[in-house]
A and B are shown apart, each in its own frame.
Chain A
């Protein structure tokens, strides 16, 4: 069975994922939750409350996903892309909701 050392998996490789799982994944968990909150029907507070309660579950899933993907490049592209797309969507939803 291969070990970390035998396939040349450096400490930096692991550190990169640990970093991705702490700050960038946390940001993505927030932007994704914000976007999802707009999609929940009912009064505004309802969507915000559901999104907030689910945010930790979303964050946990992201962490697990980061440590299960084979290629580091996939991790970083998805996280950065995810933040851009979800914050864009959240901005769009907010704009649609608050247009005059």
Chain B
């Protein structure tokens, strides 16, 4: 390329950032909401607060009763005692053996139980995708067949990573610029804001992007493992087992007794300490040759605890397995754990959300900076189609997507409860609303669209708690009185979001009454290839 290294990297930063920035923005918004997925689930399903966690012994007995009556002859049972935010209830899972010579898929089941009574948790009052559907869109997108959405996300994440690294490279004065903010100066202010959001959350953005890439190694980088084993697919598939280790046991077909896993807990606690047993796995329950595996609580990040393996019939201790044999795997899993943040308590969770919002703002300000830098030239007529397109996508996505998500929440409360396809229509309504917001700026023009859509967003988010009051028992009047801060928090967050959008709209209304003021660009700040 021409120009110096920094100028070339600026060019790369601009284009790697711009090309998919609206999908990236979508990934950041839905990913940020993903940190609150279970809380959103509760609001959308109208789940009452959990009954609480029964003691380990009671929960395990409940699970064993249920599995004995529902899943005889299974190849594997799993019992997840209640454990905090991620699993407030008792979870059970089973999978049946593969039927020889049959193409039928393996039968699996899983249930959430009340840990005290062992009764299945009632179906949600409202059929809804809930917070899970938002969270899954973060990495699968939506309406994409098969794994194509996931693939596209991997590709965009590479561009994001290129954008991050080039972004760091082009900052000569990274610390000075961190303390520089010149508001009301048009293009210059957008760049300052972009720098401020990026630099203040840089460690988070680097972590989230690189760990995001690690999620997609299996999809985009399978050749490295495959080729290293001489393209022997069997060998490469064994890679994971070689890394983690697998408990193997052959089915005999002769029935045999099965111990209650609780009887093995003292042996495990003698080795690991009290309250260290996380969950149980039972292989070939009811067979003569069965195994009971006790899994240890994972560390904060690693998600892998150690395991102790016992004979299911006699309770003989067979093996103790370390969490992982290799530091490289600890590194990879710690990165994935940091990305998902399932270990985070309320305070850290909100910090995750804040970091996500900063990343969202980083992308939004970067995209707006692109247009503010080129406005003068575009208004003189050069390359105005591309410019208008970017501008419409900016307005329609940056404000339009949040409007769509508010519509998603409103649809959840307004669509009739008995409607069969209501879970699908919640999502269709979200995307249709976003689409309308994308078309609007093309008709109405930039100046008015930013303000109009901000008012719309404010109105939509303010409407959420009001509609909730009209359609549900779980409105602010009740939730605050009962101290149910998860559900109250949802409504209060909507009100706060409405206030922020209203503030933006008021600011934009004042701004548009003033004569237009765009700072002139110093020649030194012009980037040669950026305007091509």
Contacts and interface: CB of A to CB of B under 8 A. Distances in A.
Interface of A: 1-5, 7, 9, 14, 17, 30, 33-34, 37-38, 42-53, 55-57, 59-60, 63-64, 67-70, 90, 94, 98
Given A64-B12, A68-B1, A48 B230 contact: no
Nearest to A33: B224
A1 B10 CA distance: 15
Given A34-B227, A55-B224, A94-B228, A5 B532 contact: yes
Contacts of A90: 227
A5 to B, nearest CB: 7
A48 B238 CA distance: 12
20 contacts: A34-B223, A47-B228, A48-B229, A49-B326, A49-B329, A52-B217, A53-B214, A53-B217, A53-B332, A56-B213, A60-B161, A60-B162, A60-B165, A64-B9, A64-B162, A64-B166, A64-B169, A69-B1, A90-B227, A98-B230
Interface in B200-241: 210, 213-214, 217, 221, 223-225, 227-230, 239
Interface string B160-194: 01100110010000000000000000000000000
Nearest to A50: B328
B227 A49 contact: no
B158 interface: yes
A84 to B, nearest CB: 15
Given A4-B528, A4-B532, A67-B1, A34 B224 contact: yes
The B interface is mostly helix, strand or loop, or mixed, namely helix
A53 B223 CA distance: 13
A2 B224 contact: no
Interface string B500-532: 000000000000000000000001001011011
Chain B CB within 10 A, most for which of A14, A51, A67, A90: A67
Nearest to B209: A56
A14 B227 CA distance: 32
A46 B225 CA distance: 11
Contacts of B165: 60, 64
Contacts of A43: 242, 326
B99 interface: no
A10 B229 CA distance: 43
Nearest to B11: A67
A34 B228 CA distance: 6
Given A33-B224, A37-B224, A47-B228, A53 B328 contact: yes
B228 A68 contact: no
A57 B532 CA distance: 28
Nearest to B242: A45
A99 to B, nearest CB: 12
A89 B245 CA distance: 31
Nearest to A67: B12
A94 B12 contact: no
B298 to A, nearest CB: 19
Contact of B532 (A3, A17, A55): A3
Contacts of B328: 46, 49-50, 53
A68 B5 contact: yes
Contacts of B371: none
Interface string B318-340: 00000000101101100000000
B470 interface: no
B132 interface: no
Nearest to B327: A46
B3 interface: yes
Contacts of B213: 56
Given A45-B242, A59-B158, A90-B227, 4 more contacts: A30-B223, A49-B326, A51-B224, A64-B9
B243 interface: yes
B58 interface: no
B497 interface: no
Contact of A4 (B166, B225, B227, B529): B529
A60 B9 CA distance: 12
A3 to B, nearest CB: 5
Contact of B243 (A2, A49, A56): A49
Given A33-B224, A53-B214, A67 B326 contact: no
B481 interface: no
A55 B329 contact: no
Interface in B240-296: 242-243
A47 B169 CA distance: 30
A30 B221 contact: yes
B8 interface: yes
Interface in B400-428: none
A64 B236 CA distance: 31
A42 B326 contact: yes
Contacts of A50: 328
Chain B CB within 10 A, most for which of A4, A47, A70, A98: A4
Contacts of A30: 221, 223-224, 227
A48 B326 contact: no
A4 B382 CA distance: 15
A52 B227 contact: no
B162 A63 contact: yes
Given A1-B523, A56-B161, A60-B162, A68 B9 contact: yes
Chain B CB within 10 A, most for which of A45, A46, A53: A45
B2 interface: yes
Nearest to A59: B158
Contact of B158 (A37, A45, A56): A56
Contacts of B228: 34, 37-38, 44, 47-48, 51, 94
A92 to B, nearest CB: 13
